[in-house]
Structure 1
Amino acid sequence: MKRRCWLAVILLITCLCGSLSGPAAVQAQPDTKTLLLYDSLAVDTPKEGNVEELQRLLAAFGAQVTVMNLDHYTADTLSGYDRVIYVKNAPDLYDINKDFLKDMAAYTGDYLHIGTHLPERVQQQLHTVTAVIPDAAVTITADAWSSAPTRVPSLPVITSYQGQPYGAVQLYHGSHAAPFGVIHGRQGYVPYYVKGNASELALSSLLKDWLGVQKPGNLYLVIRGIYPFSDLEKLKALADRLYGAGIPFVVSVQPVFEHTDYPAMLRYLQAMQYVQARNGSIVINTPVVADTISQDKTVLKREMSSFIDVLAQHKIVPLGIGAELYWSYDHLYSAEGMAFFDSSLLYPNEKIMYRDRSPQSKVFVSSPFTVTIRQLQEYVRHKKTADTLPVDLAVTLNFEADSVHLDEEVAWLEAQWLVFADYKQEEHQVKNDHVLLQSRGGILKMNGQSLTQNSTLLSGTSGAAEADYAYTKQARQSLSGLFRVQNNIFVAIIGVTLLVFGLFLIIGYRLYKRKYYK
């Protein structure tokens, strides 16, 4: 009887502790599928790239996304998804896919509409009334963040609605302001969304609630473009400067798969050790994809794993992978190159080169939304206070830029009120067949053992690099000794000949001089 009483007390205490601890900060549920539909990519228009930016925003919230063009939609597709986002980029094109119209009329899941032609059923649920303002100059605001005025040839705005508003669309030189977007129940609507201004932050605020994400956003600083042939002394000086300013940072380094025993590679590793000791975090950038990429699908996995091993051997703990967005929508790249990492930095696509394209994205536990420092400067043009970000935001600096330009950007960061988070404070994991690398609460771990960042890391633990290292092996020479003796003999003969020739010149000069006197 006493044992049962004690068990009851312990169970009650456990329940009370669980209720007092509160809900944990989580991302979008990984088992919740999201369908992203679009009617047009809006090429050569101001809306070009907004679908790609939306994909990166959804990745930052940890959403499992399937991307589909409306032309490829087939009957009953909506029934397989819990959430649907439809981007209507072409206002002059009406939806002619009858299967989609039929399924949409019966769809009861979460729905977010971006653009014009809001479905009538959703319009009734949101009680929205819209209007189109021709040739408008607008400013998009999201809390205290804002963007410069942008001229829009035809701007759709919400004039009446029911639900929770997000952000604002302020007409330039006008008193009219409309919500950027609204959510009511399980339905959401954003009439205008473009790439590269504060509409990204306004949409992220709406997406956070629509996806049910509770995790607050952090601000990170990322330095891109670090190669073995980069100016490593310049990198160390930048690390010292950021460390002195109290700004934690992330360095995205290019992997090396061959000649990892060369002195140049050793200096590269020592620079990473120095960065890590200066409160910097390391992420591995994806290798450069060429048209002549090997057809062997195991090469990428083997090489990425080998570079992780090289870093681990030198006490360097990478915490994620940096890649262009399309890598996460490719079966080969995501399975062979990104499978070691649970965290990523997904950059905008620069040159898309799929190997095995996938409509479904790879999900990461952590994937901050990356923006350039110019975008950040635009956001904070009129901002005075620091507000909580709705999404993890990573500001990128290009290390390959000229020193004067980079110095100006760092000076601007030092002068701002911005508070950058330490990437190591979050949980990250990199794992292959030989090593497990982790971070949590600012502590780096290797195979479960904590690494202390002490003075040995500042000076480098990999030894000194040889300045006169032979990068190419000399061919074996079987007659080198004989040739050396011959060369010495020829040198002696030539020397004697020159000496004799000199004596003849002296004797001839004296004889000619005596003849002249006579």
Structure 2
Amino acid sequence: MMYKKIGFFLIAFSIIFVNFNYKVYGEKIKTAKVLMVYDRENVFGYQDNIVNCIEELLYNFSSKVDKLDIEEYNKGYINKYDYIFVLGIEGKLNKSDFIQDLFNFKGKICWIGKGINYFLNDKKYEVSYFREKTDITELYYTNKRDKKYSYSEMKKFFIGDKWNFTTLNIKQSEKVEVFSYMSDGTNYYPFALKNKNLWYISSIDDNSLLFYVFCDLLNDIFDTKIEDKGNVFIRIEDVHPFRDTNKLKAIADYLYKENIPFIIALIPAYVNKETGYINNMSQNKEFINAIKYMENKGGTVILHGYIHQNRKGTVSGEGFEFWDGYNDAPLNVNIEKLVYDKVEKGLTECVKNKIYPLGFEAPHYAIDEKGYKELKKYFSTYVGQYQSSNKKFTTTAFPYVLRNTKSFNKLIPENLGYIDIDDPLTMNRIKENFEQVSMVRGYTAGLFFHPYLDIKYLKRAVNYLKQNEVRFLDLKQEHNWVMLGNIKIYSDNGNITVEGISNKNKDSVKKINYISKINIMVIIIVSIFCITFLIIFIKLKRIDKNKFLR
């Protein structure tokens, strides 16, 4: 019996060893069922679809997310869910069947914004409705969870915009945990709290400090353990064949010297706005060599559209490509076909010149829901902001990477803004944005820089980020894939592998992942050793048994 156990252990060891040395790229599927109930999708007068933004966020924590207008609610509907998020933009949530079901609900409830006065009429919770306020000017928050913090121990932020906030009274403070406070300059109120199975957040939008506090609190609501250390990326924007190659190389040299990897947002073709003639980068060998030079200095290419414009008379790099910027509306075309055609042309032009993008960024971040779904077929990675509305152009900057959502396989968010030399406060805005984003646990932050600007402006931003001891994101180090037709591009651990293209291109540029090959060799050797040892061990055991019988 003892020998059998030893033999089983050796076999199990070899199997486990093999499994540990193969990388698993699929994300863990989270099975909690989440429902969001809302009274309207956006604040009156604004185009931002807050429901869509929250839905994208929730998919990051669960693979099963549904949303429902309160007018469509039927009794007992919430019973099949584990989490209920209630979004009150106008507060019209007084539907008796819903309120009663919510009161009896055993899972977690997160109520955001107005209408909670209908739910807190009973004595089940140690909090009660107080009133609405529009003169809140300060927010206090900390992401530390080692003890209960008072507002004076939290970081203070100023709220510039006038917003509606719901205030609550706390009946028994020892039974209520307050995660954030707000103030009108005189009085202090809980902004975010937890009592029993109820989480409450006073107000939310989709693009500011309030939104980032909510994003961070989701880690607590879903009991997610996440590292505090974040990532920052720098993206060189609107790099097209008519850019000054000397400036591109100078940027690459500087960032390489600073040991900072960076992203290159490549527009592979440039349209003459007068004639409409398309200048592909294949016609400019100097530009192609400059891109490869930047790659060798730590740059990673993503596809930034194909021509970055869609209207005659518009300059490439300034116009929209997947949106009607003139009428601020979706393009009146088959957007799926348009996206496919532009991606196919862009990738073909890149691959033909031995340049391999690892992600995509829509020009000006403008694209509708159908466009996102089409892009999701071809790219594992999208870099930028999220357009939440299918009616008007508006974007949301998330504070961390989103994975396996409705619109993205992986979204790497840009949220710090860009360097605008016409704005004397441009660095102040970047600093303010970083201060807010970096309070979110596991944040990813990003900014972009146009290569026609003086490099001194980029150096100022880099110096600020380095003073904050940030960790710079290297896109090549992550698992990415691009697939369209016969083109297949993969990256991992700094290596890029290309499949499905002609040997003429493939043999000269395909980077072999030597680490993976070594791992496979080690796995084979160890497996052979374990099997050989096991066979010898069994034979020796039989010899000993025969001796004993004699």
Give me the TM-score of the superposition, normalised by structure 1: 0.67
Consecutive unaligned residues in structure 2, runs of 5 or more: 144-153, 271-276, 307-320, 325-330, 393-403, 418-427, 501-508, 514-550
Cα distance in 2 for partners of 1:146, 1:267 equals 51
Once the two structures are superposed, residues 37-87 of structure 1 have per-residue CA deviations (whole angstroms, 9 ceiling, x without a partner) of: 432311347x96654553554466576654554445566654565433222
- C-alpha spacing 1:440/1:98, structure 2 compared with 1 (3 Å): same
Contact 1:430 1:438 in 2 (8 A): yes
Aligned to 2:254: 241
2:200 equivalent to 1:189: yes
Cα distance in 1 for partners of 2:78, 2:365 equals 25
Aligned to 1:424: 476
Contact 1:320 1:430 in 2 (8 A): yes
Give the Å deviation of 1:190.
1.0
Give the Å deviation of 1:192.
2.4
Consecutive unaligned residues in structure 1, runs of 5 or more: 355-359, 454-518
Aligned to 1:117: 115
Cα distance in 1 for partners of 2:222, 2:204 equals 18
Give the Å deviation of 1:339.
0.8
Cα distance in 2 for partners of 1:335, 1:438 equals 20
2:217 equivalent to 1:206: yes
Contact 2:476 2:495 in 1 (8 A): yes
Cα distance in 2 for partners of 1:122, 1:326 equals 44
Aligned to 1:368: 412
| SS at structure 1 position matched to 2:471 | coil
Aligned to 1:94: 92
- C-alpha spacing 1:155/1:353, structure 2 compared with 1 (3 Å): closer
Once the two structures are superposed, residues 225-268 of structure 1 have per-residue CA deviations (whole angstroms, 9 ceiling, x without a partner) of: 41425634333332322222232222333465996755556555
Cα distance in 2 for partners of 1:223, 1:349 equals 19
Give the Å deviation of 1:345.
2.7
- C-alpha spacing 1:158/1:390, structure 2 compared with 1 (3 Å): farther
Amino acid at match of 2:259: G
Counterpart of 1:390 (choices 426, 441, 446) is 441
Aligned to 2:243: 231
Q: CA RMSD in A?
A: 4.6
- C-alpha spacing 1:223/1:351, structure 2 compared with 1 (3 Å): farther
Aligned to 2:431: 377
Cα distance in 1 for partners of 2:268, 2:332 equals 16
Counterpart of 2:334 (choices 295, 299, 306) is 295
Give the Å deviation of 1:136.
3.0
2:166 equivalent to 1:156: yes
Cα distance in 1 for partners of 2:209, 2:412 equals 16
How many residues align? The count is 435
Cα distance in 2 for partners of 1:295, 1:130 equals 49
Contact 1:56 1:369 in 2 (8 A): no
Give the Å deviation of 1:418.
2.9
2:356 equivalent to 1:317: yes
Counterpart of 2:231 (choices 219, 225, 228) is 219
Amino acid at match of 1:418: V
Cα distance in 1 for partners of 2:432, 2:284 equals 38
Aligned to 1:503: none
Contact 2:281 2:288 in 1 (8 A): no
Question: Which entry has the higher C-alpha Rg, 1 or 2?
Answer: 1
Aligned to 2:5: 5
Contact 1:88 1:116 in 2 (8 A): yes
Cα distance in 2 for partners of 1:125, 1:320 equals 49
Cα distance in 2 for partners of 1:389, 1:238 equals 30
> Within 5 A, what are the aligned runs for 1:75-86?
78=78, 81-86=81-86
- C-alpha spacing 1:252/1:409, structure 2 compared with 1 (3 Å): same
| SS at structure 2 position matched to 1:305 | helix
Counterpart of 1:337 (choices 375, 395, 409) is 375
Give me the TM-score of the superposition, normalised by structure 2: 0.63
Amino acid at match of 2:385: Y
Aligned to 1:304: 343
| SS at structure 1 position matched to 2:411 | coil
Amino acid at match of 1:29: I
Identify the range of structure 1 (75-84 vs 308-317) with the bigger mean alpha-carbon deviation: 75-84
Identify the range of structure 1 (281-290 vs 444-453) with the bigger mean alpha-carbon deviation: 444-453
Cα distance in 2 for partners of 1:187, 1:96 equals 18
Give the Å deviation of 1:213.
3.5
Once the two structures are superposed, residues 146-167 of structure 1 have per-residue CA deviations (whole angstroms, 9 ceiling, x without a partner) of: 533446565334553646543x
Aligned to 1:498: none
- C-alpha spacing 1:59/1:94, structure 2 compared with 1 (3 Å): closer
